[in-house]
Amino acid sequence: MTVIWILLAVLAVGVYLSWTAGRLDRLHARVDSSRAALDAQLLRRSAVAQEIATSGLLDPASSLVLAGAAHEARNAAEEEREVAESDLTRALRILFEAPDQADDLRARPGGEELVAELQTAVRRVPMARRFHNDAVRGARAVRRHRLVRYLRLAGHAPYPVTFEMDDEEPHALQPGGS
């Protein structure tokens, strides 16, 4: 009788462990895909910023500042990425702080599409970042479990890290904000 109970207990523990490992695996996959989505959105944003900077629709000083920030963001090393992307955010915010800048750009040939694209890009970066940080938190919560730590259920998967940056969109580009 006791033997059966012990066997059952071992089986239950086994099922629980394999279920937890599966859960953790799914969470890691979510972290990876949300990070890929965030990278895609950041790249899209710097690409549009670059395009606006080189379009000749802005004054030369603004063009230069924006092009510089976009270039830095695209080429930053991994550990400087958060800072560089935040700098691009600030450059965009300062550029569109002037109340008529967005309207002026829209009125120029081809400007309408560029502003619309930028508007989409600056809106999606904060979205993608929140989804990523949310995934990271979920994965970390499971990895903190004692059993997961002792039995190394996380395997060789790197410890998930959040992406911290200033991603507040320019007020003038928000719907109803201009």
Partner 1 sequence: MRIGVVCPYSWDVPGGVQYHVRDLAANLIARGHEVSVLAPADDDTPLPDYVVPAGRAVPVRYNGSVARLNFGFLSAARVRRWIHDGHFDVLHIHEPATPSLSLLACWAASGPVVATFHTSNARSRAMIAAYPILQPALEKISARIAVSEYARRTLVEHLGGDAVVIPNGVDVGFFADAPVEPAWQGTPEAPTIGFIGRIDESRKGLPTLIEAFPRIVEAFPGVRLLVAGRGDAEEAVADLPEALRGQVTFLGMIGDPDKARLLRSVDVYVAPNTGGESFGIILVEAMSAAAPVLASDLDAFRQVLDGGRAGELFAVEDAEALAAAAVGLLRDPVRREELREVGRKHVRRYDWETVGTDILGVYETVTAGAPAA
By CB atoms closer than 10 A (0-12, 13-18, 19+), residue 47 is: middle
Residue from 57, 133, 163, 170 in contact with partner 1 (CB under 8 A): 133
Residue from 34, 46, 50, 89 in contact with partner 1 (CB under 8 A): 34
Question: Binding of partner 1 at residue 27 (CB under 8 A)?
Answer: yes
The 149-168 contact track toward partner 1, x by CB under 8 A, reads --------------------
Q: Is residue 18 a contact partner of residue 115, using CB atoms and an 8 Å limit?
A: no
Within 10 Å of residue 36's Cβ, how many Cβ atoms? 12
Question: Binding of partner 1 at residue 60 (CB under 8 A)?
Answer: no
Q: Which of 110/177 has CB closer to partner 1?
A: 177
CB of 39 to partner 1, least distance (A): 9
Question: Binding of partner 1 at residue 30 (CB under 8 A)?
Answer: yes
CB of 37 to partner 1, least distance (A): 3
Tokens 């955010």 belong to which residue?
89
Separation between Cα atoms, residue 31 and residue 136, nearest integer Å: 6
Separation between Cα atoms, residue 36 and residue 49, nearest integer Å: 20
Question: Binding of partner 1 at residue 26 (CB under 8 A)?
Answer: yes
Residues with Cβ within 8 Å of residue 73, at least 6 apart in sequence: 42, 45, 46, 49, 81, 84, 85, 87, 88
Which one of 1-9, 66-74, 78-86, 130-138 is the stretch in contact with partner 1 (CB under 8 A)? 130-138
Residue from 9, 11, 29, 43 in contact with partner 1 (CB under 8 A): 29
Question: Binding of partner 1 at residue 138 (CB under 8 A)?
Answer: yes
Kindly list the distances between the CA atom of residue 138 and the CA atoms of 124, 153, 167, in Å, as whole numbers in the listed order.
Answer: 21, 15, 22
Residues of the shown chain interacting with partner 1 in the complex, contacts defined by CB under 8 A: 23, 26-27, 29-30, 32-37, 40-41, 120, 123-124, 126-128, 130-131, 133-135, 137-138, 141-142, 174-177
